[in-house]
Structure formats: C-alpha cells, structure tokens
Amino acid sequence: MGELNPLIHQPTRLRIMAALASLEPNEKADFGFLRDLLELTDGNLSVHLQKLEEAGYVDIEKAFEGRRPKTWVSITPAGHDAFSEHVDALAKIIYN
C-alpha cells in the first residue's frame, strides 16, 4: 500500500491526474479538452502540467494538425503507478 504523494495531493493536480488516469492506455487528451473539463485557465493548467511532466508523470506532445497547433497530454506508466499508490493511500486513511 503506497503513501500520499505530495505532488499529486495538490487539488488541481489531483484532478488532472484523475482525468488522465481515466483514459484508456495509449489515449491522449487535448490541452483544451482538459482545460474545459477541469474548468481551469490556460496558464493554471500549463503550470501544473509542467510540474507533472518534470516528475515524469505525464507526457506532453506538441504537434501541428494542418495549420493548427495541438498539445496532447497523456499519463505515463510512472504517473499511473504514482496515482494508483495515492488512491490506495487515500483508501487506507478511510478504512484504517
């Protein structure tokens, strides 16, 4: 059973990780999709994604589709493990 992860514990990052963890393996979410879903501003989402990327929990991929720039965000295996451990730790607090 894991321990609470201080990086994921932050409320906004917890919601970002929950959203990304709910996607199927190999699925990527558009930056704008996450922003609208979580009701965040561009700047706020960028800052938190950068921290999660530095920790190796998310992958950020910038690409052009036609002439439109797109930013795709996905959770990494390490991010999945860290999130699962965090959820386990929350469950441990509740059931102990």
Partner 1 sequence: MNRNQALGDLKTIRQIMKRTQKEAGRHSGWFILIAGVLWLVGFTANQFVPEYAGWTWAAVNLGGMIAMGWTGIRLTRRSDVRTTWWKPIFFFWVILAAFAILLGWLFDANDSVQIGLLAILAAALGYVQIGAIFQSLHISITGILVAAMAIGAFFLIPDHFLLAMALLGGGLLIGSGLWMIRSRT
Residue ranges in contact with partner 1 by CB under 8 A: 4, 9, 11, 14-15, 18-19, 21-24, 26-30, 32-33, 37-38, 65, 72, 87, 90-91, 93-94
For partner 1, the closer CB: 30 or 81: 30
What span, in angstroms and rounded, lies between the C-alpha atoms of 86 and 57?
A: 13
- Tallying the residues shown for the chain, one arrives at 96
For partner 1, the closer CB: 41 or 94: 94
CB 56, min distance to partner 1, A:
21
Q: What angle do CA 21, 23, 25 make, to 5 degrees?
A: 95
What span, in angstroms and rounded, lies between the C-alpha atoms of 49 and 15?
A: 11
CB 33, min distance to partner 1, A:
3
